[in-house]
């Protein structure tokens, strides 16, 4: 396997202007990765600033309610800024600092990665610009406000469909112009090499912590791990630590939106084919001419037409299975977990919970399932409250 690819996926499908800078980045990252001082600094911030390691919580009530396998929740929702995103942002910003780059750009969809990047930039005294589609700015005004409060500039992305994919295009275009003094903080396991690998490495702390905690609590590995997949960073970080342990089933949950029989979904593996987006080869939802049109999910974090290239590889090799759940199922799961455990998951994570609701009752009581609660639901209250009450409650 080439170093830049996972099987045939990934690579560096970017303008030539970015190739040398990507090589410089790769080199700097390899050096940092093998440097104990870098690891120490990263771990310091994860512990003291993010509040890690996040708990692996035994969801007793939820387990009892579903009446099957024992359920543990990996509580990334308890992290500072409310999701797993900060793990990656801190890693990349510490790298930017080592490379002497003081200007930071990022893309954001719903604003979670943008807020995390703005937070890290404030912490390290960096100048931060976040690209966000105008459609998303309208829908997520609170996050725009937050980013500005943290001292970041939010640049409206007006091109194309004015959502995450276009914000990413704009960020890449800006990076091509400013690459010599600017670090681009990508928010998921996507983009050209080395990003998918680097982001996964910064997120593998999720899987490493889970493994350690479950061995402490149960003395054995779980039978199944469930995580939601948009670009796929929380799932990639969680799965990576378990790839060699074939007895652990890995399940990625995509957004089926209004249903796979409608055009309104973001289920890349169910409905996409191989293609190129944002510098990588991967599965992609596209038309017959290869054009990429907006996808849909109630959860802005899953609303992405592509998927990280490592997931495409895990999909083809069947090391992980990918399933999808609809908006409705996710909302139902969000209500149920809130009411049984007092934990309101993000709509993204609620997709993983929804799949657990389908599979866990069919599993024996001696089985163990871990669900990655990648983020908390605060950001989604506005979306949920706009829905009719009878749509969600069971």
Question: Catalytic positions, please?
Answer: 85, 107, 374
Give residues with Cβ within 8 angstroms of 83, minimum separation 6: 76, 77, 112, 116, 346, 374, 375, 376
For residues 198 and 201, what is the distance between their CA atoms, to the nearest angstrom? 5
Token pair 């091509």 is at which residue? Answer: 176
Asked if 112 contacts 83 with a C-beta cutoff of 8 angstroms, the reply is: yes
Q: Is residue 288 close enough to count as binding another protein by CB under 8 A?
A: yes
Pairing label, strands 224-228, 249-257 = parallel
What is the closest distance, in whole angstroms, from the C-beta atom of residue 172 to another protein in the complex?
6
Q: Is residue 15 close enough to count as binding another protein by CB under 8 A?
A: yes
Asked if 287 contacts 275 with a C-beta cutoff of 8 angstroms, the reply is: no
What is the closest distance, in whole angstroms, from the C-beta atom of residue 281 to another protein in the complex?
8
Which tokens go with 12?
Answer: 């560096």
| Count of beta carbons in the 10 Å neighbourhood of residue 100 | 9
Q: Is the dihedral of CA 163, 301, 311, 288 positive or negative?
A: negative
Binding mask 159-198 toward another protein (x if CB under 8 A, else -) reads: xx----xx--x--xx--xxxxx------------------
Q: Is residue 13 close enough to count as binding another protein by CB under 8 A?
A: yes
Q: Looking at beta carbons only, is 76 or 170 nearer to another protein? A: 170
Q: Looking at beta carbons only, is 226 or 285 nearer to another protein? A: 285
In the set 78, 90, 292, 347, which binds another protein (CB under 8 A)? 292
Q: Is residue 276 close enough to count as binding another protein by CB under 8 A?
A: yes
Q: Is residue 27 close enough to count as binding another protein by CB under 8 A?
A: no
Which of the stretches 56-64, 85-93, 273-281, 296-304 binds another protein when contact is defined by CB under 8 A? 273-281
- Residues 366-385, interacting with another protein (CB under 8 A): none
What is the closest distance, in whole angstroms, from the C-beta atom of residue 129 to another protein in the complex?
15
How far apart, in Å, do the first and last CA atoms of the chain sit?
Answer: 48
For residues 91 and 239, what is the distance between their CA atoms, to the nearest angstrom? 19
Q: What phi and psi, each to the nearest 5 degrees, are found at residue 350?
A: -60, -25
Q: Looking at beta carbons only, is 217 or 273 nearer to another protein? A: 273
Q: Looking at beta carbons only, is 193 or 311 nearer to another protein? A: 193
In the set 43, 290, 378, 381, which binds another protein (CB under 8 A)? 290
What is the closest distance, in whole angstroms, from the C-beta atom of residue 22 to another protein in the complex?
9
| Count of beta carbons in the 10 Å neighbourhood of residue 313 | 19
For residues 101 and 211, what is the distance between their CA atoms, to the nearest angstrom? 35
Q: Looking at beta carbons only, is 27 or 61 nearer to another protein? A: 27
What is the closest distance, in whole angstroms, from the C-beta atom of residue 171 to another protein in the complex?
10
What is the closest distance, in whole angstroms, from the C-beta atom of residue 162 to another protein in the complex?
12
Q: What dihedral angle (degrees, nearest 10) is formed by the CA atoms of 152, 305, 330, 202?
A: -50
Which tokens go with 167?
Answer: 């914000």
Residues that bind another protein (rule: CB under 8 A) add up to a total of 40
Q: Is residue 273 close enough to count as binding another protein by CB under 8 A?
A: yes
Q: What phi and psi, each to the nearest 5 degrees, are found at residue 5?
A: -130, 155
Q: Looking at beta carbons only, is 19 or 215 nearer to another protein? A: 19
Interacting residues with another protein (CB under 8 A): 4, 11-21, 159-160, 165-166, 169, 172-173, 176-180, 273-279, 281, 284, 286, 288-293
């Amino acid at each position: 396997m080439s170093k830049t690819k996972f099987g045939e996926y990934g690579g560096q499908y970017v303008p030539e202007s970015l190739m040398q800078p990507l090589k410089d980045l790769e080199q700097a990252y390899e050096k940092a990765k093998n440097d104990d001082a870098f690891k120490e600094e990263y771990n310091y911030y994860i512990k003291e600033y993010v509040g890690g390691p996040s708990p692996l919580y035994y969801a007793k009530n939820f387990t009892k309610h579903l009446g099957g396998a024992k359920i543990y929740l990996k509580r990334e929702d308890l992290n500072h800024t409310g999701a797993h995103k900060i793990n990656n942002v801190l890693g990349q910003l510490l790298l930017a600092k080592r490379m002497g780059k003081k200007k930071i750009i990022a893309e954001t969809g719903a604003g979670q990665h943008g807020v995390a990047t703005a937070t890290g930039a404030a912490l390290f005294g960096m100048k931060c610009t976040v690209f966000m589609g105008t459609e998303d700015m309208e829908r997520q005004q609170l996050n725009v406000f937050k980013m500005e409060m943290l001292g970041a500039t939010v640049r409206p992305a007006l091109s194309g469909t004015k959502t995450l994919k276009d914000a990413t295009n704009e960020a890449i275009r800006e990076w091509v112009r400013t690459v010599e003094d600017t670090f681009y903080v990508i928010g998921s396991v996507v983009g050209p090499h080395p990003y998918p690998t680097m982001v996964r490495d910064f997120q593998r702390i999720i899987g490493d912590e889970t493994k350690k905690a479950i061995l402490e609590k149960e003395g054995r590995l779980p039978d199944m791990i469930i995580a939601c997949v948009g670009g796929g960073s929380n799932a990639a970080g969680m799965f990576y630590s378990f790839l060699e342990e074939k007895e652990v089933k890995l399940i990625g949950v995509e957004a089926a939106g209004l249903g796979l029989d409608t055009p309104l979904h973001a289920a890349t593996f169910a409905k996409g084919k191989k293609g190129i987006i944002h510098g990588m080869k991967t599965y992609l939802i596209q038309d017959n001419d290869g054009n990429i049109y907006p996808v849909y999910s109630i959860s802005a974090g899953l609303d992405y037409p592509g998927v990280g290239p490592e997931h495409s590889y895990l999909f083809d090799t069947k090391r992980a299975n990918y399933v999808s759940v609809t908006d409705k199922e996710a909302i139902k799961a969000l209500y149920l977990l809130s009411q049984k455990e007092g934990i309101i998951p993000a709509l993204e994570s609620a997709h993983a919970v929804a799949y657990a609701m389908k599979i866990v009752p069919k599993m024996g009581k001696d089985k163990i399932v871990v669900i990655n609660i990648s983020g908390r639901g605060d950001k989604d209250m506005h979306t949920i409250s706009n829905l009719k009450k009878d749509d969600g409650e069971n």
